[in-house]
Amino acid sequence: MEQNRLLEAQRAIDNLLGNPRNQRFADAWYLKARIYAGLLSEGKTQSLPQDGRRQALDAIRKALEVDRNQALMLLTVEEHQTAFSLYTSGLRQGVDLYNTQMYEPSLSAFRETALTGEYIFSQGWGLTRIDTSLTLYTGLAAYRAGRQEEAILQFRKLADAEVGGGAEYASPYRYLAKYCYDRKDAANLARYLSIGMRLFPNDEYLMLTDIEATRDSRDYKSLFQKYERLLTVFPDRYDAMMEYANELFGYTHSLGNARTQPDYVVNCARIEDLFNRSISLRPESEEAWLSLGKHFYNQALLCYEEVSRNTGKNQEDRQLKSQQEQQVSKLAEKAIQPLEKVFSRLDGRKGLREPESSYYQSACSLLSYCHEMRKDFSKSELYRNKFESAKQHRNP
């Protein structure tokens, strides 16, 4: 031991303890633990049995069992370095295996290290009840090894203790949120999202999961507020911006909703802004251009229906109807501009596939209606023919 000839020391201590008469000496068990810990720390594990780390921990236990006073003296003099060496080398081995994507062996190493840590803590020698780094790695290794329930158990330990810190500690809350969401466990989902978002307020995954859960509850006011916050933190997320715009679009233009909601005008302005911002992020997106055109068309259609209901019985009604018709024409013109962007890009392009084929047909159909609203019947017929031709080509 003094000359660090650990392999020779291992053979000697194994032979010594192979004799039952020597198993009553605490210092012999202590030496076994120290030698094994040294080999494990230096990575010289070839000569050790497969459960060498556990045997080393058991040797410490045995020393205390045989002669507690002598064992405590030996361990105290060395400040429990043998036990801590078993712990740190086990954690290091597990991390190394995890980083090489050997998840099952790394999980085994973390489990054994956890047993060592629990023993050290139980003896009052140090550590804490939860080693956050070890618990996190154990959960990640279990998840990667396909042991989801074991992973969730580890992540719950961290989340229940409300562990925060570096960005890596957001992972348990993400996994727990997905786990609870998939199982429709609303109470625990809300709990872990609340803790996670308090500790990691700008975590995109948690924010998106919170949005999904709120969408399912159909609490639109809360849903839109959460989208607003998401886009404040991540203003350049095209997908999130389009999702929000489409959610607000569906809510604002739903049947029977447009005429009754007090915030219709405000919502329309916000939808227009969201689609325009989406276009600025991805000018090539036919989806965003088409959606903006649909938005203006729906507003025009609402006005058009109001015109149809106005019978013009008196001068005041006729004056109002004239204003309404002008508004229809104006909104139809605003719809035509983005719709023609889609049409011009896709018209004549051979072999259109989904979703471009649907985009093209929608653009043609809406352009036909918009020109009809503006009483430009020749253009309306042109786009109607384009639509029919595209539909026949798609469904021969």
**pLDDT-derived band at 42, boundaries 50, 70, 90:** confident
Per mean pLDDT, which range of 29-33, 235-239, 299-303, 391-395 is the poorest?
391-395
**pLDDT-derived band at 83, boundaries 50, 70, 90:** very high
Taking the CA atoms of 80, 89, 171 and 173 in sequence, report the sign of the dihedral they define: negative
pLDDT exceeds cutoff 90 at 44:
no
Residues 175-185 have a mean pLDDT of: 96
pLDDT exceeds cutoff 70 at 255:
no
Residue ranges of the alpha helices (H) in 42-67?
52-66
Predicted local distance difference test score (pLDDT) of residue 2: 61
Residues 240-260 have a mean pLDDT of: 86
**pLDDT-derived band at 237, boundaries 50, 70, 90:** very high
pLDDT exceeds cutoff 60 at 62:
yes
- pTM for the full model? 0.83
**pLDDT-derived band at 316, boundaries 50, 70, 90:** confident
Per mean pLDDT, which range of 69-78, 259-268, 294-303, 361-370 is the poorest?
259-268
What three-state secondary structure class fits 236? coil
Instruction: Write out the two tokens for 207.
Output: 């924010």
What three-state secondary structure class fits 331? helix
Residues 205-229 have a mean pLDDT of: 95
Residues 137-164 have a mean pLDDT of: 97
Long-range contacts of 69-78 (CB under 8 A, 24+ apart): 70/26, 70/27, 71/26, 71/29, 71/30, 74/26, 74/27, 74/30, 75/30, 75/125, 78/34
**pLDDT-derived band at 45, boundaries 50, 70, 90:** low
**pLDDT-derived band at 258, boundaries 50, 70, 90:** low
**pLDDT-derived band at 1, boundaries 50, 70, 90:** low
How far is Cα 11 from Cα 28, in angstroms, rounded to an integer? 13
pLDDT exceeds cutoff 80 at 370:
yes
**Tens-digit pLDDT profile for residues 114-132:** 999 999 999 999 888 899 9
pLDDT exceeds cutoff 80 at 311:
no
Q: Which residue has the higher pLDDT, 8 or 193?
A: 193
Looking at every residue in the chain, the average pLDDT score rounds to 91
Predicted local distance difference test score (pLDDT) of residue 38: 87
Residue ranges of the alpha helices (H) in the chain?
6-17, 26-41, 52-66, 68-77, 81-99, 103-122, 132-144, 148-160, 171-182, 186-199, 204-217, 220-233, 238-252, 264-281, 286-309, 315-346, 356-373, 377-394
**pLDDT-derived band at 396, boundaries 50, 70, 90:** very low
DSSP code per residue over 143-189: HHTT-HHHHHHHHHHHHHTT---SGGGGHHHHHHHHHHHHTT-HHHH
pLDDT exceeds cutoff 80 at 233:
yes
- Cβ-proximal residues to 359 (8 Å cutoff; 6+ apart), any chain: 286, 287, 290, 342, 346
pLDDT exceeds cutoff 90 at 314:
no
What's the maximum distance between 2 C-alpha atoms anywhere in the chain? Answer: 118
What percentage of residues in the chain have a pLDDT greater than 70?
Answer: 96
Question: Quick one: angle between helices 238-252 and 220-233, nearest 10?
Answer: 160
Residues 229-239 have a mean pLDDT of: 97
